[in-house]
Amino acid sequence: MKVNEVSATDSLGTPAESEKTALPRQPRSMRRRAFLKTGGLAAASVAAIGAGILPTRMSAQALSDARRNDRAPITRGDIAVLKFLQALEQVEADLWQQYSELGGTQDSEVSGVGAGNPAYAQALQLLDGDMPQYIHDNTDDEISHARFLGNFLESIGESAPNLEEFKQLPSSTADGARQVGRLTNLTQLTVDTSFWSRYRSITNPDFDPGAPFAQAVPSLNSGLHTAIPRSNDDTAGSVINLQDPTKSTFTDKLKAIAFTAGFHFAFIEQGGTSLYPALAQNVTNLEVLRILLSIGPAETMHFQTWQDKAGNALPLTDVDNGPGGTGASVTFTTLANAQGETDPESLKGDTLQANLIMPEPTHFLSKDLPPVAIIRPTSDQLGGAVASFKSFMDDGLFIGQKNPEFFRTMFRLARDADAARRQI
Ligand SMILES: [Fe+2]
Ligand SMILES: [Fe+2]
C-alpha cells in the first residue's frame, strides 16, 4: 500500500458502516493531509500503523496525534450523545447556580446578587465548614461542562440544544437569589437516597435485578421537600453570627433544608457518575470518547465529596409547616452510628455505615468473576440518557414546567443518545 493511499479511516480497518453514518466533518483528503502533517509521521510509521504494528520510536505527541486522527470519524450517534450531555449539563448548571447564589462562596464567578444567604450557607456548614467553597466549585464545574460541550459541538458544525425558552420556573425570593427564570425547581424534591446503600452493598442493580437498596433517609424519598430557602420565612428564627458561625443557632426547619440539600447534591452527582460511563460505551470517535472519559470522573469526584458530607447530617425531625410549606415530614438519623460492613457483605442493600464512602466491591459481568469496586449502574437501561433524565423528573426538578415541549425535547435528545451504537 502506498502511503498516499492510506486514509484516516482505512488505516485501522474501520468498517464501512461507520463511514455511512459519519458526518462529513471535512473532506477525506484534508483529513489525510492533516494526519500526515500533524504527527509529522514518516511514511514508514503510517504504514506500520496501517498494518497494526506500532513503530518503536514514535514520540508521545506523534502517537497521540496519530490516535486522534487515525480512528473512526465522529458519527451521528456521537453527536446525539454529546447533545444530550450538553443539555443535561445545562440542567445541572441551572440547579447548581441556584445553590451557589444562596449557599456558595460569593465571588464574581458564579454568584448571585452579592452576599449570598448567610443563614443557609451557615446551616450547610453544619455538614462541613468547606461547603460554600465546594458548592461554588461544583457550580463552576457544571457551567464549564455545558460550555465546553457546547463549544465542541460548534467546532464540528453542530449546535448545542437551546433550552432558554424553558427557563420559566421562579427563583427563590430569599435573600441572595437572583430573580431570573430557572430550568429547575429545588423546592419540591423527592430525593431517592438509595445510592447510599447501592455503593455500600455487594449487589449491583445492573447484575442483580430486583436487588433491594435501602434509603439513607427514607422520608426524603416521599413527599415534597425544599433544598433551598424558598423565602426569608424559611430562615426566620435562626440567629446568625456572621463573625463566628459557631455561635449561630438554627431552626430545625433550616437545618432540614440544608441537610436535604446535602443529600440532593449527592443524588445529582451520582447520576452523572453513572451516565458518562453508560454513554461512553455508545460512542465511536476516540476524541469524543476522551471527552466522556474526562468529564465523567469529575462527576464522580463531586459525588464522592457530597456523599461524605451528607453523612454528617445531625439527627432531627421536621415537618414543613408554615408559609410555603408542603407539609412533608423528614427525619435525619445519625448515619455515623450505622454499622454494617458485614461478613458476608450485604446482599440486602441495607448497609448505611456513613464512612463507607469508597465503593464496596460488587458483582460485575459474571458470577465467575470476583466482586470488584466499580461505578454502578453503567447499563443504558439504568444509567443511560433516558434513565438519567427520568430520574431527574422523578426527583421533582421540573415541577412547574408548563411547556411540554421541554420534556419532548429532552426525551428526544435522550432517546437519540441511548440509540447511539459504537461502530468500530
Ligand atoms: Fe457535569
Ligand atoms: Fe455534575
**193 C-alpha vs ligand 1 centroid, how far in Å?**
20
**298 C-alpha vs ligand 2 centroid, how far in Å?**
8
Ligand closest to CA 304: 2
Ligand closest to CA 292: 1
**380 C-alpha vs ligand 2 centroid, how far in Å?**
18
**301 C-alpha vs ligand 2 centroid, how far in Å?**
9
The total of other beta-carbon atoms located within 10 Å of residue 179's CB is 10
**383 C-alpha vs ligand 2 centroid, how far in Å?**
14
Q: Tens digits of per-residue pLDDT, 27-81?
A: 333 333 333 333 333 333 333 333 333 444 556 665 566 555 556 899 999 999 9
**260 C-alpha vs ligand 2 centroid, how far in Å?**
17
Ligand closest to CA 141: 1
Tens-binned pLDDT, residue by residue, of the chain (424 aa): 232 332 323 222 233 333 334 444 443 333 333 333 333 333 333 333 333 334 445 566 655 665 555 568 999 999 999 999 999 999 999 999 999 999 999 988 876 667 899 999 999 999 999 999 999 999 999 999 999 999 999 999 999 999 999 999 999 999 999 999 999 999 999 999 999 999 999 999 999 999 999 999 999 999 999 999 999 999 999 999 999 989 999 999 999 999 999 999 999 999 999 999 999 999 999 999 999 999 999 999 999 999 999 999 999 999 999 899 999 999 999 998 887 766 667 788 888 999 999 999 999 999 899 999 999 999 999 999 999 999 999 999 999 999 999 999 999 999 999 999 999 7
**225 C-alpha vs ligand 1 centroid, how far in Å?**
23
**244 C-alpha vs ligand 2 centroid, how far in Å?**
31
**72 C-alpha vs ligand 2 centroid, how far in Å?**
28
**378 C-alpha vs ligand 2 centroid, how far in Å?**
16
CA dist., res. 73 & res. 31, Å (int): 10
| Whether 216 contacts 335, CB under 8 Å | yes
pLDDT (0 to 100) of residue 344: 63
**141 C-alpha vs ligand 1 centroid, how far in Å?**
7
Q: What is the secondary structure of 348-373 as a DSSP string?
A: SS----TT--SPPPB--S-TTSPPB-
**262 C-alpha vs ligand 1 centroid, how far in Å?**
17
CA dist., res. 417 & res. 80, Å (int): 5
Which of these, 294, 420, 424, 277, lies nearest to 359 by C-alpha position? 277
Q: What is the secondary structure of 214-257 as a DSSP string?
A: --SSGGGGSS-B-SS-SSGGGTTT-B--SS-GGG-B--HHHHHH
Give the three cell numbers for residue 211.
Answer: 436487588
Q: What is the secondary structure of 148-160 as a DSSP string?
A: HHHHHHHHTT---
pLDDT (0 to 100) of residue 69: 58
pLDDT (0 to 100) of residue 396: 98
pLDDT (0 to 100) of residue 341: 67
Q: Where do the structural domains in the chain lie, given as residue ranges?
A: 3-70, 76-419
**404 C-alpha vs ligand 1 centroid, how far in Å?**
24
Ligand closest to CA 149: 1
Q: What is the secondary structure of 35-63 as a DSSP string?
A: HHHHTT--HHHHHHHHTT---TT--HHHH
pLDDT (0 to 100) of residue 156: 96
DSSP-based three-state secondary structure for 92:
helix
Ligand closest to CA 295: 1
CA dist., res. 224 & res. 397, Å (int): 11
**300 C-alpha vs ligand 2 centroid, how far in Å?**
8
**89 C-alpha vs ligand 1 centroid, how far in Å?**
5
**415 C-alpha vs ligand 2 centroid, how far in Å?**
20
pLDDT (0 to 100) of residue 338: 82
**142 C-alpha vs ligand 2 centroid, how far in Å?**
6
pLDDT (0 to 100) of residue 6: 27
Q: Tens digits of per-residue pLDDT, 71-121?
A: 689 999 999 999 999 999 999 999 999 999 999 999 888 766 678 999 999
**269 C-alpha vs ligand 2 centroid, how far in Å?**
5
pLDDT (0 to 100) of residue 58: 54
Give the three cell numbers for residue 174.
Answer: 430569599
Query: Buried (b) or exposed (e) across 270-286, using 16+ Cβ within 10 A?
Result: bbbbbbbbbbbbbbbbb
**307 C-alpha vs ligand 2 centroid, how far in Å?**
13
Q: Tens digits of per-residue pLDDT, 263-273?
A: 999 999 999 99
Ligand closest to CA 268: 2
